[in-house]
Each structure stands twice: as structure tokens, then as C-alpha cells.
Amino acid sequence: AQTVTQSQPEMSVQEAETVTLSCTYDTSENNYYLFWYKQPPSRQMILVIRQEAYKQQNATENRFSVNFQKAAKSFSLKISDSQLGDTAMYFCAFIYNFNKFYFGSGTKLNVKP
């Protein structure tokens, strides 16, 4: 069975600072993909960043980067220079076949001015 665990239900960060959201997963698969999705108060889920498990290089997208540790099955999201618009629920997700996604329970991030 595939599981995704986000151990931080809620976090806060000051505007312009850096915050890291944690995610661990469990799988026996070797080829898979990991995602971070953001859900702002509008409820529209937005893809933040994607990582292929076969790539050792960590993915980056502007202020968003990941720390992917395959052996430890860890996939954390780092947000640099936090902005008020980053306030949202963040979901870690895992997929290994046929587009069947497994999601974590989410981390609510609050960026304070």
C-alpha cells in the first residue's frame, strides 16, 4: 500500500522568511513521481512543483524547491521569501501508475505580515 504522511497540520511563517513543509511516503515501487499542490482559500488546487523519483537533482520552481531524499522516502517543500499569497493548504502527493494519486493530509500554511 502507498501512504503519504504530512506530520505538520499547521505552520506559520513571517513574510519574507523561509519555511519548510515536511512529507514522507511509503512505497515499494521504484519509479514514481511526487508533487506538491497548493489549495488557497479559493479552493482551486494548483500544482506547485513536481519531482521524478529517478532524477537525483532536486526540482525548483522560482521560490519553491524540494529536498528529495529517496532512501529516506522524504520529500520536503521549501518556500523562500514567503509572500502573503502563499497562505494556503499544501498537499504532498505521490503517483506510481495510471495517474492514481495518493495525497497526504495537508499542511495549513499561514504567512503573517
Partner 1 sequence: DVKVTQSSRYLVKRTGEKVFLECVQDMDHENMFWYRQDPGLGLRLIYFSYDVKMKEKGDIPEGYSVSREKKERFSLILESASTNQTSMYLCASSTSTTVNEKLFFGSGTQLSVL
Under the rule (CB under 8 A), what is the footprint of partner 1? Answer: 4, 6, 9, 33, 35, 37, 42-45, 47, 50, 52, 91, 95, 97-101, 103-106
Cα 102 from chain centre = 12
Shortest Å, Cβ 62 to partner 1 = 17
Interatomic CA distance for residues 80 and 59, integer angstroms: 14
Nearest residue (CB) to partner 1, 14 versus 54: 54
In angstroms and rounded to an integer, the radius of gyration of the C-alpha atoms of the chain is 13
Shortest Å, Cβ 113 to partner 1 = 25
Nearest residue (CB) to partner 1, 97 versus 113: 97
Interatomic CA distance for residues 88 and 91, integer angstroms: 10
